[in-house]
Structure 1
Amino acid sequence: MILTLFIITLSSCSAQQVYKGVQASHVNHCYLYPYEQAQECLEDVNMPYDEYERRREEVLEENKK
């Protein structure tokens, strides 16, 4: 049981780290645009991981139907 919880925690942590890495890459990409477009891009990119995960789960549930 403890091993299972550890593995779940580890995989969740890794997914969040990957998300943050991709997010950082997208932020850098946003700065390639002119100022106004960069600001819009940054607003889209700055979604917290919990929100991303919630939306992801919604999409997965919709695709099951």
Structure 2
Amino acid sequence: MKKGLLAVPLVVLAACSNQQIYDSVQRNRLHNCEKYSGPQYRDCLQQYDQSYADYQRQRRELLREEE
């Protein structure tokens, strides 16, 4: 029972860490878009405009397809 209670916070912590990493990478990619202007800038922003929830959903779908 105690081991199960310890696992829950670790899973939550891992999920937070994964989202923080994702957010950090996205911010870096969006920052790199600043070197473009006009349509290239907009295209770059759109390429990286995906929420973490959407990313997770897409990732789960792709993993299911591989099975």
The question of a shared fold, defined as TM-score above 0.5 by the shorter chain, is answered with yes
Task: Give the distance between the partners of 1:2 and 1:42, measured in 2 at CA.
Answer: 41
Larger deviation, residues 7-16 vs 31-40 = 31-40
| Structure 2: gaps spanning 5 or more residues | none
CA-CA distance at 1:45 after TM superposition: 0.9
Count of residues in correspondence between the two structures? 64
Larger radius of gyration: 2
Root-mean-square deviation (Å): 1.0
Task: Give the distance between the partners of 1:48 and 1:41, measured in 2 at CA.
Answer: 15
Report runs of 4+ in structure 1 exceeding 6 Å deviation: none
Q: How do 1:17-32 and structure 2 match up within 5 A?
A: 17-32=20-35
CA-CA distance at 1:19 after TM superposition: 0.1
Partner of 1:59: 62
SS at match of 1:42: helix
TM-score normalised by the chain length of structure 2: 0.87
| 1:8 partnered with 2:31 | no
Task: Give the distance between the partners of 2:32 and 2:50, measured in 1 at CA.
Answer: 16
TM-score normalised by the chain length of structure 1: 0.89
CA-CA distance at 1:34 after TM superposition: 2.5
CA-CA distance at 1:43 after TM superposition: 1.4
